[in-house]
Structures are given as structure tokens and as C-alpha cells.
């Protein structure tokens, strides 16, 4: 007779995840009373100009609850210690490394992944960003069993999340995290008790959302305004999309369509009266919140007060 798990504390869980979105799910599992025997996250990293070491959000949470923390540099080369934790199941969201088959084989009930899209759409490292960049109005979270192929495993459930016009990556990631938390708290015990029916992904409908590279942060000037705004939203608040102004990065966090007029050359600041207005191919874009390299983020009016004679300058 197979073992049955009647309450969260019966289940030995290893959690894998690194950033703030993952900490939302981790917090939910802790509060629900799951027996979390370890956290696996990426290493602490240097941040800011002074290179201060910063712990992942999940690590901060684990230490506050006396949960053992493991931070292998490359988990594909360093995971034998995981066997000693004797996990019934591994739950992961936004861990940040490719998990090898050797890890997938350790837990009795396999590894469950919460992926931030409605699979098989947007497999890969940046599904939340890409959903916004592609102008989607609906996305979500898929609970799937991890396989040795990226985000290709059997699906068990989905949570739909609406993308509102004002959503950016930061706000949508928070909504995705909350949806994932609800989903795992509802479905984890039914999964290990064999009560969920898995569904194979349709390989003909697969799309990809690969990792955002530094060169992807440089905003093009040859796109329509709507596409440009979606790119800005998808990169905001972090890492921030940018144009170059006088050899300095000008990060843009918010913008809206000002008009459909053609008042200058593409890339030209056509007005700096009470704001910054940029000519694109199909109209004038109002840049609403921005940050010049070496300065703090601010609204356009404040920026204009400190930067004279912007009109006529070109962004690149």
C-alpha cells in the first residue's frame, strides 16, 4: 500500500528557488506547515557600486525559519549531498540553474516546477518579461513535473493571470508569485497522493522565452510606439530598458503614447516642455519616468528641470 500524506507536516519537501517571486511561494509553504528540510538557491552576489554581498530573498526567509540552506555553484556537478535530505518531493520556482537528471531522480515523488506561463507557451528563463513584451493580455502559472528537457514535463494544473495595461515586469511577477502560491498550496498534497491527472504538452504549440541578455536591454528605435511601450514595461523595474543620451545610458521605466504626429526625425526629442517627448516612426512617445546613468530614477518633469536644452537631441 502506497503511503498517504494527510497533512503538510507529513511531507519532506526540498524547495529550490532564488528571487523575490520565488520567496512568495516559499513563504506560503512555510506558513502552511510543510516539513521543509532544505532550501537550494543560487549563491549570494555582489550588488551596487560598492559590491556589497546580498543574499537571495529565499535565503533570507530560510534563515529566519531555521531551514538549512544549500548554495551549490553548479548543481549539475554538486548534488550528492541532496540524497541525505531524503526528500519526498522537490518544489521549485525560479531557481536559476538547469537541474540535472541526477537531481530529478532523488525525490520519491519527483520534482514539481511552477513555471510563469501557460505552457507550452513561453518555455525558458524569461516567460513573464516576454509575455508583456509580446503584448499578451493573459498569462499564468503552470504546475508541471520537471523533465530533462527545459519546461517540457507533464502538466498538472494552470492558474490564469490577467496582464493589465499598467503592469510591468515587477508588478506582474508579484501577481504570478501569488497565483503560484495559491496553486501549490491547493495541489501539492493531491499530487503526492496520486489524485492529479497529468497532461502531456502539445509540442506543436511550443514557444520560447529565453534569458534576457544585456544587449536586449537596449531599446530599438525602429518599432511602433505600442511595441516600444511593451518592451519598456517588460524590462521595468529591472533591469530597465535604455537608450543612449550623450554617451550615457538613459533608462526608461514608464512611457505612454502622446500623439500620432510626426514632428521630427525618429529618435529625436521633439519637445522638452513639461516632459520629454520622443519621435518614433508612428508618433510621439511621452517618457514619463526615467533614470540617467549615475543619477536616481525620477519623473520626466523633475528630469527636465535638471537637464536643459534637451529638445533637438537624438537618442540612440
* Domains of the chain by residue range: 8-205, 214-306
274 by Cβ neighbours in 10 Å (0-12 / 13-18 / 19+) ranks as exposed
d(CA 134, CA 137): 9
Task: Report CA dihedral (54, 57, 61, 66) to the nearest 10 degrees.
Answer: -50
Q: Do 130 and 176 meet the contact criterion of CB atoms below 8 Å apart?
A: no
What does the block give as the cell for 284? 510621439
Angle, helix 20-32 to helix 57-64, in steps of 10 degrees? 20
Q: Do domains 8-205 and 214-306 have the same CATH topology?
A: no
CA distance 236 to 254: 8
What is the tens place of the pLDDT at every residue in 271-289? 988 899 999 999 999 999 9
Who contacts 65 (Cβ-Cβ below 8 Å, separation ≥6)? 30, 36
- pLDDT per residue as tens digits for the range 199-234: 999 999 999 999 999 999 999 999 999 999 999 999
- Give 118's strand partners: none
The chain-wide mean pLDDT, for the chain, equals 96
pLDDT of residue 1: 43
CATH number assigned to the domain covering 214-306: 3.10.25.10
Segment holding 230, helix H or strand E: helix 225-234
Which helix (H) or strand (E) segment holds residue 245: the answer is: strand 241-245
Return the bridge partners of 160, or none: 140
CATH number of 8-205: 3.40.50.170
What is d(CA 175, CA 161) in angstroms, rounded to the nearest whole number?
Answer: 7
Collect the ranges in the chain with pLDDT lower than 50.
1
In this predicted structure, what is the pLDDT of residue 219?
98
pLDDT attached to residue 309: 86
47: burial class by Cβ within 10 Å (0-12, 13-18, 19+)? exposed
Amino acid at each position: 500500500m502506497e503511503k498517504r500524506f494527510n497533512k503538510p507536516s507529513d511531507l519532506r519537501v526540498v524547495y529550490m528557488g532564488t528571487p523575490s517571486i520565488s520567496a512568495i511561494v516559499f513563504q506560503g509553504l512555510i506558513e502552511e506547515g510543510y516539513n521543509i528540510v532544505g532550501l537550494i538557491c543560487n549563491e549570494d552576489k555582489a550588488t551596487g557600486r560598492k559590491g556589497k554581498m546580498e543574499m537571495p530573498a529565499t535565503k533570507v526567509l530560510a534563515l529566519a525559519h531555521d531551514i538549512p540552506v544549500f548554495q551549490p555553484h553548479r548543481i549539475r556537478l554538486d548534488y550528492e549531498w541532496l540524497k541525505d535530505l531524503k526528500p519526498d518531493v522537490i518544489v521549485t520556482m525560479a531557481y536559476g540553474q538547469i537541474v540535472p537528471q541526477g537531481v530529478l531522480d532523488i525525490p520519491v515523488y519527483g520534482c514539481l516546477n511552477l513555471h510563469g506561463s501557460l505552457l507550452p507557451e513561453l518555455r525558458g528563463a524569461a516567460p513573464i518579461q516576454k509575455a508583456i513584451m509580446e503584448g499578451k493580455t493573459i498569462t499564468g502559472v503552470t504546475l508541471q513535473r520537471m523533465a530533462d528537457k527545459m519546461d517540457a514535463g507533464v502538466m498538472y494544473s494552470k492558474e490564469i493571470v490577467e496582464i493589465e495595461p499598467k503592469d510591468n515586469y515587477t508588478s506582474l511577477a508579484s501577481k504570478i508569485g501569488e497565483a503560484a502560491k495559491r496553486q501549490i498550496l491547493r495541489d501539492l498534497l493531491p499530487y503526492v497522493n496520486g489524485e492529479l491527472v497529468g497532461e502531456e504538452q502539445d509540442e506543436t504549440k511550443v514557444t520560447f522565452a529565453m534569458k534576457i541578455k544585456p544587449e536586449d536591454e537596449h531599446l530599438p528605435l525602429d518599432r511602433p510606439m505600442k511595441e516600444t511601450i511593451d518592451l519598456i514595461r517588460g524590462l521595468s523595474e529591472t533591469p530597465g530598458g535604455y537608450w543612449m543620451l550623450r554617451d550615457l545610458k538613459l533608462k526608461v521605466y514608464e512611457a505612454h503614447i502622446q500623439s500620432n504626429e510626426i514632428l521630427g526625425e525618429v529618435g529625436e526629442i521633439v519637445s522638452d516642455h513639461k516632459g520629454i517627448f520622443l519621435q518614433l516612426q508612428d508618433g510621439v512617445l511621452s517618457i514619463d519616468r526615467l533614470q540617467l546613468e549615475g543619477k536616481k530614477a525620477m519623473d520626466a518633469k523633475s528630469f527636465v528641470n535638471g537637464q536643459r536644452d534637451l529638445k533637438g537631441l537624438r537618442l540612440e
